[in-house]
Chains A and B, each alone.
Chain A
C-alpha cells in the first residue's frame, strides 16, 4: 500500500505509513469530523482585538492559565488588570521585574495624596501616572510594539486614559467624601482662609449644630458661583438672627465674634431674619455683587440661608495646611 503523501510502499493492512506516520486507511473507530464553531457573540470581540493587534496596541500574550480556552477574556483581563499597577505582572508571573517601579509608584502616590491639594501634591500624582505608564509599557507591550512611533502613540494613549482613571477613581472608591477650601477666618478654631477641609456627604439633620462647618455650593447672587466652599452654620431652623456691630445676635443672645465671626461683605448690611424650617444661616466670604445700588434683604437671605438639601457635606477633617492637619469637632 503506497502512502499518498511520501509515496512509501507499506505492507498491506497497515493503518499508518511506516515512514511518515500518515493515516493510510479510514479509521474504523468513530471520528469526529465536524470542527468546533465560533459562537456568534465572539465575532465582534475577536474582530476588535484583531484590529488592536494589527495596530500593535495589544500584545499577543499567552497567559498559560485556565483562560487559554478564552483568549479574548484573557486579553481583556490583561488590559484591565494593567490599570492596577502590578496586577498584570502578577498574572503573568513577572512581578519581580517591576517591583522597584511599583515601590516608586506607591511612594509617589502616598506622598502625592499627603501633599494634595497643593501643586506639589499634583506634581507627585502626575509623576505617579508617568511611572504607571512605564509599568504598563513594560508589561509585554513594549516588546511587541514594532517601532518608536507606535510605542509613543501607545504611551500617549495610556497617559490620557490613566489621567482620566486617576481623576475618576477616587469618586468611585469614596463617593461620600469630598473636599473644598474655606474663605472664612475663625480665630477661636485657628481657621484661616484657604484651609482645605475633607467632608462627608452623609449629612444627617441632627448632626448639624451652631458652629458646624458645612460644604455648600453658594447661591448665585449677582455673580455666578460654581465652586464649592466650606461655610459655618450660625443660626439654626426657627431662630432669629441679627447683626450688631461685629457680632451676630441669635434670638436676642450675642454670639462670640471669635467663634462666629461676621464675614466682611456682611458688615455693611443690617440684617434681621427668621430662619425657616429645615434651613440654616450659613456664613462665608461669599462672592456677591450688588444689583443696582445695594443688595436687598432678599439677596442676603438668598446668599446665606440654605436648606438641608443644599448642604452637600459636613466637614470632619482639616487637610491643609499640613501643620494644622487634624479632625474638627
Chain B
C-alpha cells in the first residue's frame, strides 16, 4: 500500500493503484515464496524468501522458510548451517531447533535429530512446526505418540493451517499412512485449490491405495504446473496401470 492511496481526489486513484504493478516489498516476496512453495517450486520459494530477508531481515518466517526450502531441496547440511545463522538472530527459537531436528532426521542422523527435537519442545513458545518436527522424528522411531503430535501441530497452526496440513500429509505419506494423508490433503485443496503440490501428493496417496481418482488429481497437478516432469511421469504411470496394480495399489 503506497502513501497516496488514501488521499481523496474525487477520482478512482485507489482502483488504479490496485490494477498497477504490485509493490515489491517484503510482504509481496513472502506471498510469492509461499505461492511457489505450494507449487513445489522450492528453488524459487527459497529465492523469494531470501528477497524477503533482503527487505527486512527481522522477519522470522522468511528465515524458517529458507530452511524449509533447503530441506525440501535435500540440502540438509546447508539447512543446518542456515538454521545456526538464524539462531544468531533468534536465539533458542524452538522452531529453528525443530527444523534442525528435521534436517538431521532426513539426513539419517537420528541421534542428533531426537536431541534437537527434545530441546525444541522444552521451550515456551512452541509453534505448530515444532510439533510437526517432533512427529517426524518420532515416526522414524515408529512411536505411536507421533500422531498426537500431528494433531497438536494442526490444532495450533492458526493462519498457517494449510501449510502445516500439507506438511503433515506429506509426512504421513512418507510413512505409508495414505488414508490419513488424504484427509488432510482434501482439506488443503479446499483452502488452496491451486496448489500443485497438494494435488500431486493427493494423487500419489490415491495411487498407492489403488483409487481411480489418482488420475484426476495428477491431471489437476499437471494443469497447474505443466512443467513438472515428475507429475507427468506419475500421470503416465497411473494411466498405464495394469489390473493387479489397480487391485493392490502402487
Chain A residues in the interface with B (C-beta under 8 A): 4-6, 20-27, 31, 33-38, 43, 46-47, 50-51, 53-54, 60, 71
Contacts and interface: CB of A to CB of B under 8 A. Distances in A.
A38 B81 CA distance: 12
A6 B124 CA distance: 9
Contacts of B46: 35
A38 B77 contact: yes
B17 interface: no
Interface of B: 46, 50-51, 53-58, 60, 66, 70, 73-79, 81-82, 85, 89-93, 107-109, 111-112, 124-125
Task: Count chain B CB atoms within 10 A of each CB in A35, A36, A38, A71 and give the residue with the most.
Answer: A35
Contacts of A35: 46, 50, 66, 70, 78-79, 81-82, 85
A6 B125 contact: yes
Contacts of B78: 35-38
B75 A38 contact: yes
Contacts of A25: 58
A27 B85 CA distance: 14
Task: Count chain B CB atoms within 10 A of each CB in A6, A37, A71 and give the residue with the most.
Answer: A37
Contacts of B81: 35-36
Nearest to A22: B90
A71 B107 CA distance: 12
B56 A26 contact: yes
A47 B76 CA distance: 11
B90 A33 contact: no
Contact of B53 (A5, A31, A36): A31
16 contacts: A5-B90, A6-B125, A20-B92, A26-B58, A27-B58, A35-B46, A35-B66, A35-B70, A35-B78, A35-B79, A35-B81, A36-B78, A36-B82, A46-B76, A47-B74, A53-B108
B85 to A, nearest CB: 8
B160 to A, nearest CB: 14
Nearest to A54: B108
A51 B55 CA distance: 39
Contacts of A21: 91
Given A33-B53, A36-B81, A4 B60 contact: yes
Nearest to A35: B82
Contacts, number: 71
A24 B58 contact: yes
B91 A20 contact: yes
Nearest first, the 8 closest Cβ-Cβ pairs linking A and B are A53-B108, A33-B53, A23-B89, A35-B82, A38-B75, A26-B56, A23-B58, A54-B108
Contact of A31 (B57, B111, B112, B124): B57
A60 B109 contact: yes
Given A6-B125, A50-B107, A34 B77 contact: no
Contacts of B70: 35
Contacts of B77: 38, 46, 71
A46 B106 CA distance: 12
Contact of A60 (B57, B85, B111): B111
Contacts of A20: 91-92
Nearest to A146: B110
A49 to B, nearest CB: 8
A37 B82 CA distance: 10
A20 B60 CA distance: 14
Nearest to B94: A5
B131 to A, nearest CB: 17
Contacts of A34: 50
A92 B73 CA distance: 32
A94 B232 CA distance: 52
Nearest to B53: A33
Contacts of B74: 38, 43, 46-47
Contacts of A27: 57-58
Contacts of B112: 60
Given A33-B50, A38-B77, 12 more contacts: A5-B90, A5-B125, A21-B91, A24-B58, A26-B55, A33-B51, A33-B54, A35-B70, A35-B82, A36-B82, A37-B75, A43-B74
Contacts of B92: 20
